[in-house]
Amino acid sequence: MDIDTLNRRFGVPNQLRFVRGPENFTIIEIENFHARATVCLQGAQILTFQPRDHEPVLWISKAARYVAGKSVRGGVPVCWPWFGPHATDAQKPAHGYARSAMWRVAEASALNDGATRLVLELETSPANRQLWPHESSLQLHLSVGPTLMIEMVTRNDSAQAITVTEALHTYFHVSDIEGVSVTGLEGCSYVDKVANGATAVQQGAIRVSGETDRVYMNTAEECVIHDAALRRRIRIGKGGSLSTVVWNPWTDKAMKLGDMGDNGFRQMICVETANALDNAVSIPAGKEHRLTKIISVERA
Ligand code: TA6
């Protein structure tokens, strides 16, 4: 659908419009009394979120590339219908295909509280069906207001149960990675992907001083990123999620990724709301599963 048609059908006066972004990407610009945000239609990827009177909450790489069929480095990539490498087929894309596939707009509206609602739906295609041969659908429900509310809704339209792993792979903007801490996971066991998948138990707040890649298991807890230099706390609430992933690539991995920008890793930390590894979700035939993330910022 071209930009003019999108604006005619789904534009929300003074709040939401569609624009042509880099490399012809369709970008959704949202601005209301409470906040502003941008979303890339490919991958239903939230790129930016900035509440009024606050610094940007999400990190996006200064070296981000806009390539058709590739997710952009930063914001909130949608990992689905699997998280991480495919369990049995290394040829399949890491983190599933939703983050790099085309989505369509299902709804856009102004809410009574001044927030803006947007619903996007993953398009089906022969290529996607090859990767995931199950009658199912995925929608992303967003509410952009003083908080950013994101809901991934998986519906199983098939006649048998399906099992998914998933994540809202959120890159948060921080003043400096060694100046922040993350609370909420104290005492939680995690799989340490930097230590060959060894399991450990989180002692105290999380501080990062090297490559960090941990899947915290069986936790429904809210996490908080404490950033003294930015004089703020970012609260990350969740529902329908039993895993939280904490990731920073640090120097070498960032270099290998090639799109993190010079020292970009120093200004980001991923705190991902997920269902990963043994927290995979089984959805009975005809039923749906909702993973919810609520991001809010407060002055520290
Ligand atoms: O969520 C952490 C992680 O699984 C890391 O292992 C790293 O691979 C990261 O995701 C980024 O993956 P990507 O495919 O986006 O480069």
The atom of ligand 1 lying closest to the CA of 95 is 14
First-residue to last-residue Cα distance in the chain? 44
Mean pLDDT for 53-78 is 98
Q: Residue 101: is its pLDDT beyond 90?
A: yes
Residue pLDDT, tens place only, 237-281: 999 999 999 999 999 999 999 999 999 999 999 999 999 999 999
Mean pLDDT for 17-41 is 97
Output the CA 84–ligand 1 centroid distance in Å. Answer: 7
Q: Please give the model's pTM, rounded to 2 decimal places.
A: 0.98
Of all protein residues, the one whose alpha carbon is nearest to atom 14 of ligand 1 is 94
pLDDT tier, 160 (very low <50, low <70, confident <90, very high otherwise):
very high
Mean predicted lDDT score pLDDT of the chain: 98
Measured between alpha carbons, how far is 292 from 300 in angstroms, rounded to an integer? 25
Of all protein residues, the one whose alpha carbon is nearest to atom 4 of ligand 1 is 84
Of all protein residues, the one whose alpha carbon is nearest to atom 10 of ligand 1 is 84
* Phi and psi based region of residue 194 (left: phi greater than 0; alpha: psi -120 to 50; beta: remaining): alpha
Q: Residue 10: is its pLDDT beyond 90?
A: yes
Q: Residue 64: is its pLDDT beyond 90?
A: yes
pLDDT at res. 43: 98
Measured between alpha carbons, how far is 280 from 276 in angstroms, rounded to an integer? 5
Q: Residue 147: is its pLDDT beyond 90?
A: yes
What proportion of the chain, given as a percentage, has pLDDT over 90?
Answer: 100
pLDDT at res. 119: 99
Q: Residue 1: is its pLDDT beyond 90?
A: no
In one-letter notation, the amino acid at residue 264 is G
Question: Catalytic positions, please?
Answer: 169, 272
